[in-house]
Chain A
Amino acid sequence: MTLLELDDVTVRYGEAVAVDGVSLTVAPRERVALIGPNGAGKTSLLNAACGVIRPALGRVRIEADDVTGATPGAIVRRGVSQVPEGRHVFTTLPVEANLLLGAYGRVFRLEIVSSTLRYLRSRRDVRDQLDRIYDLLPKLRELRERPAGRTSGGEQQMVAIGRALMARPRLLAIDELSLGLAPMLVQSLAEFLVRLNEEEGVAILLVDQSASLAFSLCERAYVLETGRVALEGPSKDLVGRAEVRSAYLGGSPGAPS
């Protein structure tokens, strides 16, 4: 069964069509990339999957259940968490509070008293999960007391990923992992994601402008252009395609592969 399925999804902002009938699937434990130029509709598609925007047409399903139009919180509870573009850590709060809020958000419903009781009852689970994340990303343990706004870009990306993982997702959707980060840092984050995927079984949906990163990290990829899927398939097949090379990998058209 597919974990996440976008079925013929269209996203509009007023008259402008950002995503035009895109279908995409992610299987459990799979690593899938979504690449394409600026304005291709990658973030809009991700936001439609995560309940941030309601698609104008098409359905979103998680494990075959229709979740079209569900709130972001409902999507998180179904096991899909997003790491947003630009990270958006809670700058004034300590790193550890950022992480704990990831667990609180998962049990949060409309009503705050029962939400908080639910959180407090799961306190032990939350602690265990926090320890696991500190083991996976030891840097965060060192920084636990520091306001997240006073950490480096790479550390903030770790905080954002850790915060999403606190909700124990089965699919982690990451918008622009590499944006503004040094290549070495991106490399170690990529290795971390592969380990997370292989050891913990968390599926990954990676949106990135860097096609080389996306292809090396993910088994399968979708290439989005002006709101439509231009190409899709196993990464190793796409890497060889001339049009992909010219558009995203910096090669010249017609160059031998």
Chain B
Amino acid sequence: MTTFFQLVVVGISTGSVFAIVGMSLVLVYRATGIVNFAQGVFAVVGGLVTYSLSQHMSLVLAGLLAVLVTAIVATGVAVVAVGIRGRTTHLASLIITVGIAILAEAVLLAAFGEVPRSYSAISDRAWNVGGVLVQPQYAALALVALLAAFGLTLFLRRTIVGQALVASADSPRAAELIGLNLRSIAVIAFALAGALTAVGGVLLAPTVPVSYSSGLTITINGFAAAVFGGLVSIRLALLGGYVLGVVEQLVVGYVDPQYNLIIALVVMLVLIGWRSRGELAV
């Protein structure tokens, strides 16, 4: 039983990263209607930049700077994805982000090399909760995911900027007519989502080393979490991330680590199908 709970704890921690990426995808989708397939790249940029900078400065400062750098990179991705005039179709934007994700791997390989990178966690001690080891790093990831879910929900519902983001995807034509600039809106959404995903990446690297090619797996997991909430629900994306993380760890622990992603995605598919059937029945 201890093994089970240990797997669940690790699962919640990795699941928090999926949730963070998933919520970032939801944010971008709700503001622009674009599914950003380069989202996972931002986690990798966050982790690798933190590693590089930490050779020259304190880890905390390196992490903060990495988040800032990623937000700037995300701004660039936004401009390319939505086009200079903001009139690229959503499908074209999606394909552009796929291209960016592929290109990013090459750029990251050239810039950071192929060795997966890791650095020291917040603390090397772990809490012992009835035989289950809980690392502070896990707790930090879970806390960030929860805070992000809470903050994003409030942001989108209650603030004028959040409402402007939602409005822009809801009716781009009307948003433009009342004076909103769709490209500015896209840039803000991508930058916020990029920064959030980068925080996830910065906190992830000490537990799971990240390399230039980690982006795709992170994107797929984040996407599965986001789809759990129909790409629009922050809360369900959070839940989806946790479910995905825990199922993957259980597969690693009890079945075969080789199949963890595949089995977890099948479970997600079944859950999504079940959830949407439930929705239709209401």
* B178: interface (CB < 8 Å): yes
A interface size (C-beta, 8 A): 36
Pairwise interchain contact B179-A105, C-beta atoms closer than 8 A: yes
Q: Is the CB of A76 within 8 A of B179?
A: yes
Contact yes or no, B181 A110, CB < 8 A: yes
Within 8 A of A (CB), among B141-175: 160-161, 163-164, 166-167, 170-171, 173-175
* B49 within 8 A of partner (CB): no
Asked if residues A84 and B167 are in contact (CB atoms below 8 Å), the reply is no
- Tell me if B68 is interfacial: C-beta within 8 Å of chain A: no
Interface residue? A184 (CB, 8 A): no
CA distance A107 to B181 in the complex (A): 11
Contact of A82 with B by CB under 8 A: yes
Bound Cα distance A111, B161 (Å): 12
CB-CB under 8 A from A106, the residues of chain B are: 178-179
- In the complex, the answer to whether B178 meets A100 with C-beta atoms within 8 Å is no
Looking at the complex, which of A18-26, A55-63, A87-95, A236-244 is the stretch in contact with chain B? Answer: A87-95
Contact between A108 and B171, CB atoms less than 8 A apart? no
B174 contacts A89, CB within 8 Å? yes
Residue in contact with A105 in the complex, picked from B166, B171, B173, B178, CB distance below 8 Å: B178
A104 near B160 with CB under 8 A, answer yes
Chain B residue numbers with a CB within 8 Å of A108 are 164, 179-181, 184
User: Within the complex, what minimum Cβ distance (angstroms) separates B161 from chain A?
Assistant: 6
A100 contact from B163, B170, B173, B179, Cβ within 8 A: B163
Which residue of chain A is the closest to B158 with respect to CB atoms? Answer: A97
0 or 1 for each of A66-102: is its CB under 8 Å from B? (1 = yes):
0000011100110001101000111111000110111
B96 CB–A CB distance under 8 Å? no
Q: Are A101 and B164 in contact (CB under 8 A)?
A: yes
* Interface of chain B, main secondary structure: helix
Please pick, from A52, A84, A112, the residue contacting B184 in the complex, using a CB distance under 8 A. A112
Known: A100-B160, A116-B160. A164 touches B167 (CB 8 A): no
Question: Distance in Å from the Cβ of B229 to the closest Cβ of chain A?
Answer: 14
- Write out the residue numbers on chain B whose beta carbons fall within 8 Å of the beta carbon of A82: 177
A45 on interface, CB distance cutoff 8 Å: no
A31 close to chain B: CB less than 8 A: no
> B161 and A71: CB pair below 8 A?
no
Partner of B177, one of A50, A97, A100, A104: A50
Asked if A221 lies at the interface with its beta carbon under 8 angstroms from chain B, I say no
Instruction: Say whether A170 faces chain B, with CB atoms less than 8 Å apart.
Output: no
Q: Is A119 an interface residue (CB 8 A)?
A: yes
CB of A181, distance to nearest CB on chain B (Å): 18
Whether a CB of chain B sits under 8 angstroms from the CB of A195 is: no
- Among B163, B171, B179, the residue within 8 A (CB) of A89 is B171
CB contacts (< 8 Å) of A167 on chain B: these are: 178-179
Q: Are A84 and B160 in contact (CB under 8 A)?
A: no
A residues near B179, Cβ cutoff 8 Å: 72-73, 76-77, 104-108, 167
The reply to whether the CB of A163 lies closer than 8 angstroms to some CB of chain B is yes
| Interface residue B256 (Cβ < 8 Å from any Cβ of A) | no
- Kindly list the 5 A-B residue pairs having the minimum CB-CB distance in the complex, ordered from nearest: A105-B179, A105-B178, A73-B179, A88-B174, A76-B179
- Write 27 A-B pairs (CB below 8 A) sorted by A numbering: A71-B181, A73-B179, A73-B180, A73-B181, A76-B177, A76-B178, A77-B179, A81-B178, A88-B177, A89-B174, A90-B171, A91-B171, A92-B170, A93-B166, A101-B163, A104-B164, A104-B178, A104-B180, A105-B179, A108-B180, A108-B181, A108-B184, A112-B184, A119-B160, A163-B178, A164-B178, A167-B178
